[in-house]
Amino acid sequence: MAKIAFLLADGFEDSEMVSPYDAMKEAGHESIIIGLEKGLECKGKKETASYTTELAAKDAFASDFDAIIIPGGGAPEELRVNDDIIRFVKEVNDQNKLIAGICHGPQIMISADILKGKAVTCYIGIRDDVKLAGADYQDEEVIVSENLVTSRTPKDEPAFIREILAKL
């Protein structure tokens, strides 16, 4: 059983949180929702899902987790400017643990400066940002590159989840 950190803030893409979160729980993995503060209610941009953060980013450490999953939508934009989120993602990457991001999720990977030399996919709107961060952008439903798993949009969720579970 793996311990997985879900990075979340308001405005996440509903299904990109719900589907992987439910799949990880169903597979028996422990899933912890990490946000800017503990106890924050985070609502999906479509308002079909809502979660409460269980841990503040400042209290998250790579040694306590096996993987990070970053849902897309507007949440990564808010999270990527937080020093504790970036420190945590860098620590997890330094330990070569799984980091998975879908849609806008790779924005946090860009800010953590962990994309150089990696093959990555993402929402087309941040394609140029990913390239400028040194990644080899590929327009595929899912890309696995070393410890990273990335996908583009909600329609790619089955492949995204499949590859995360395979890496765990």
CATH number at residue 109: 3.40.50.880
pLDDT in tens, 61-84: 999 999 999 999 999 999 999 999
Total number of domains in the chain: 1
pTM: 0.98
Instruction: Tell me how far CA of residue 68 lies from CA of 48, 125, 138, 139, in angstroms.
Output: 23, 22, 21, 22
pLDDT in tens, 116-167: 999 999 999 999 999 999 999 999 999 999 999 999 999 999 999 999 999 9
Residue type, 132: L
Residues annotated as part of the active site: 103-104
